[in-house]
Structure 1
């Protein structure tokens, strides 16, 4: 089983501090150095379907590509002790694409570093038959970690938790992919 795992990094929602792009850039650089993943980065705004928009067909096509994903990594802020509403709307819109696929998280914001948002998202995604993994990366007070130009001040400090999370995500993705290949999840859900 030497094939690469198709990993989709999803981010978006309102980010008043503008930290998400820096975290996505950092995460993308770390993932790009790993041989086990074939990944792409998708912004939520590019995927949420609004039936009265001209981009409906194009967005629908992008959502179909999500069905080929083996695993997901969600970068989320914490807002008012919870996750962004746009993220929940997206999860609900593409519910079947989560089935029997692992999901990892990078959280940021407030004192908890996004932990409350991650905890809530784990419950939401488990309800969608996804497999939220235990390891995560958290950035409490992320403003202190990112300089004025949007670059991580101490990127090595967070590489170990990220590496642990990616190893666990890869394991779950391979195990669940093998199970889906053996028996379609739709037959058991």
Structure 2
């Protein structure tokens, strides 16, 4: 049996009461149905304590970096804030070094009428600079709160599951190809 693909599912929001939790829980339930994947949910919230608390604990940053380093692929659940992605997500991308290179990244986006797609387009630019391979398939939820019921399940579960399955197939393909390539030659030798 092939070694499972380790996916780091990253929260793209740290806001209190964030809808991102609903998106991540749904995606995690769906991914758990696929034996080909091993899931690690990465929440950057510990890096951003409320202003009245102590500064971030260095061990939280080290833990997140270690977990991202172990990942074969990334799946970012991102909202759209003012036609872009969140500042804490940008901070995470800019402050964790060396974990992104030569790995694939895919997106689940949500938001208002655009479903977060404007945030995804900007994230593609950032991830290109981090030397990742972004996956074309995106799962998008326009007017996201209307797309989910009170229990956090999509109102159109077959459509959402079908879109995520296609995304995971592409992400899995790229993750296997790039994992093998990294084993054959360190990406640092060409970057």
TM norm structure 2: 0.91
Structure 1: segments with no counterpart, 5+ residues: none
State whether residues 15 and 77 of structure 1, in contact with CA within 8 Å, keep that contact through their aligned partners in structure 2: no
> Quick one: structure 1 residues 45 and 84, their matched pair in 2 at CA, closer, same or farther if it must change by over 3 Å?
same
Task: Give the ranges of 4+ consecutive aligned residues of structure 1 lying more than 4 Å apart after TM superposition.
Answer: 14-17
Larger displacement relative to structure 2 (62-71 or 169-178) = 62-71
Q: Which residue of 1 aligns with 2:6?
A: 6
Matched, 1:129 2:131: yes
> Quick one: structure 1 residues 147 and 17, their matched pair in 2 at CA, closer, same or farther if it must change by over 3 Å?
farther
Aligned counterparts, 1:39-188, within 5 A: 39-47=39-47, 53=55, 55-188=57-190
- Deviation of 1:143 after TM superposition, in Å, equals 1.5
- Deviation of 1:21 after TM superposition, in Å, equals 1.1
**SS of match in other structure, 2:3:** coil
Structure 2: segments with no counterpart, 5+ residues: none
- Deviation of 1:15 after TM superposition, in Å, equals 4.7
> Quick one: structure 1 residues 15 and 62, their matched pair in 2 at CA, closer, same or farther if it must change by over 3 Å?
closer
Matched, 1:25 2:58: no
TM norm structure 1: 0.91
Q: Distance in 2 between matches of 1:25 and 1:65?
A: 19
- Deviation of 1:120 after TM superposition, in Å, equals 0.3
**SS of match in other structure, 1:95:** coil
State whether residues 47 and 57 of structure 2, in contact with CA within 8 Å, keep that contact through their aligned partners in structure 1: no
What RMSD in Å do the two structures reach over aligned CA positions?
A: 1.9
